Amino acid sequence: MKDKINRRDFIKKVSVTAAGLSILKPETVFGTRANSSVHLGIIGCGGRGTYVATSFVNNTDTRVVAIAELFEDRLMKGKSHFNEIAVKNNYPELKYSRLFLGSEAYMKLLDLKDVDAVLITTPPFLHAEHLDKTVEAGKHVYCEKPVAVDVNGCRRVMHIGKKAEGKVSLAVGFQIRHATPFVEMVRRIHCGAIGDIVMGQTYYFFGFIDLPPYPGVSSDELRMRHWLYDRALSGDIIVEQGIHVIDICNWVLKSHPVKAFGTGGRKGRFDEGNCWSHFVVDFTYPGNVSVSFQSAQFDPGYGDVCERFFGTKGISESHYTGGVFIKGENKWDSGVARGTPEEIGKKEWATGVFKSALQDADPNKQKAFINSIKSGNYVNEAHTGAETALSAILGRTAAYKREEVTWDELVASDEKWDPMIDLTQFDI
């Protein structure tokens, strides 16, 4: 059957095949090599889902065996992509019976007995629901950040983490905690390399994310395809993107912030959504440690991601692409090249002489997750994921209100956002 089939024939083919499907043991069909690999199902096969799943296949003993998607074009694109990889790796290609389309597609994927682990890369407002059902199905799960977009969702994820404890591995996509330069820097900070931390500075300056226009689709479908522009679906830029540097602050300071004051707005953005273009937040951590946070998602012609911590014995500084090092009494340098592409030189950057601080972040994170499954030493990052999401939500809430908000006030609010969208409208 050709990939280019109409929507009705596609659904009919899947339904008929699935109804008569008998599951054979993997070793019977695929042989020893396939049986030893972790079978991965993908819930949400957009750009991020395709990238992360491909990285899993390339860096671990994993193969993609099923995909669930809301939109047919993404489902078929994912099928073609992972079938190309399967052919190269001498694995069976994905069949139509392993492709699930629609708002309940993920439940059909979770019913597959031979799916060992699930990658959740749907829009963030769906993460808590999909995470809950995945753990209930007894599957190991790697959930992209943020785990939720509101306080109620974060509470739910913490509860899910308790259900998963000791039964399955539950990982959250904060891969920077596995980047070798960052791991060593934080280890040194925790060993006293910069002394007592007095204050911090962190920022995530990024250009505008230009998404395809999708002419002729309904307003709700455009919202779903452009979820990055919609605060109810994404959590806004501080929760969806800036959360990475907030997580590093929590990691370094071994805590979440106790209060925040902030501001921001949409100036500089011209898309159809309602996400802000920038946030400026002052977080206060235990010990009266103040950390200034800034994020931007428009295009002023400059971008950088950085964390600096100022201590009584020195300063730590860490960039995605501009070095990771410590200055002061206990000097240390990770050896990662410093500077922008222009500063380092386009030739060096293109030939691989340049080394990003995040070069091994995704592979290391994914290897740790797969190893936890194979060893039985299950990881559980639900609490950390929810705590970091709440930290970002604290900053967002303070900026929206333009007033100081404490951690206790935020958690007591049990805030719950209504996305005001019915996903069943996309079903046939």
Domain final residue pick, 131, 146, 174: 174
What is the Cα–Cα distance from 193 to 90, expressed in whole angstroms? 49
**Pick from 174, 203, 233: which residue ends a domain?**
174
In a domain, 426, yes or no: no
Do 299 and 208 share a domain, yes or no?
yes
Q: Do residue 96 and residue 241 come from a single domain?
A: no
Q: Find out whether 330 and 194 touch, Cβ atoms under 8 Å.
A: yes
Are residues 326 and 184 located together in one domain of the fold?
yes
Q: Is the dihedral of CA 243, 249, 255, 257 positive or negative?
A: negative
Mark whether 254 and 338 lie in a shared domain.
yes
Q: Which residues contact 31 (CB under 8 A, 6 or more apart)?
A: none
d(CA 134, CA 145): 16
Same domain, 251 and 236: yes
Same-domain status, 256 and 385: yes
Residue 33's pLDDT is 38
CB 241 within 8 A of CB 206: yes
Q: Is 300 in a helix, a strand, or coil? A: coil
Collect all residues with Cβ–Cβ distance below 8 Å to 29 and sequence separation of at least 6: 92
326 token code pair: 């410590």
Q: What is the CATH number of the domain that holds 157?
A: 3.40.50.720
Helix (H, G, I), strand (E, B) or coil at 108: helix
Look at residue 340 in the predicted model and tell me its pLDDT.
66
Number of domains in the chain: 2
Same domain, 183 and 238: yes
User: Nearest 5 degrees, angle CA 222-CA 226-CA 232?
Assistant: 100
Residue 296 falls within a domain, yes or no? yes
φ, ψ at 40 (rounded to 5°):
-110, 130
Residue 99 pLDDT: 98
User: Are 158 and 193 within one domain?
Assistant: no
Structure tokens at 321: 């692409």
DSSP 223-248: HHHTGGG-HHHH--HHHHTTHHHHHH
CATH of the domain at 314: 3.30.360.10
The answer to whether residue 376 sits within a structural domain is no
Tell me: do 291 and 217 sit in the same domain.
Answer: yes
Query: Bridge partners of 332?
Result: 326
Region label for 264, one of left (φ > 0), alpha (ψ between -120 and 50) or beta (otherwise): left
Number of residues that make up the chain: 428
**pLDDT per residue as tens, the chain (428 positions):** 344 344 445 444 444 344 333 333 333 233 333 458 999 999 999 999 999 999 999 999 999 999 999 999 999 999 999 999 999 999 999 999 999 999 999 999 999 999 999 999 999 999 999 999 999 999 999 999 999 999 999 999 999 999 999 999 999 999 999 999 999 999 999 999 999 999 999 999 999 999 999 999 999 999 999 999 999 999 999 999 999 999 999 999 999 999 999 999 999 999 999 999 999 999 999 999 999 999 999 988 888 999 999 999 999 999 998 899 999 999 999 988 777 666 776 666 555 555 789 999 999 999 999 999 999 999 999 999 999 999 999 999 999 999 999 999 999 998 999 999 999 999 97
Whose tokens are 């008569």? That residue is: 20
Domain final residue pick, 156, 174, 192: 174
Q: How many CB atoms lie within 10 A of CB 114?
A: 15
In a domain, 96, yes or no: yes
Domain contains 1: no
CA distance 100 to 121: 15
Residue 190 domain-assigned (yes or no): yes
Instruction: Answer yes or no: are the C-beta atoms of 334 and 185 closer than 8 Å.
Output: yes
Q: 271 near 254, Cβ under 8 Å?
A: no
What is the domain extent for residue 150?
A: 7-174
Buried b (16+ CB within 10 A) or exposed e, 122-154: bbbbbbbebbbbbbebebbbbbbbbbbbbbebb
Is residue 213 included in any domain, yes or no?
A: yes
Query: CA-to-CA distance for 398 and 326, rounded, in angstroms?
Result: 31
Residues 192 and 166 in one domain: no
In a domain, 255, yes or no: yes
Do 196 and 52 share a structural domain?
no
Q: Are residues 91 and 215 in the same domain?
A: no
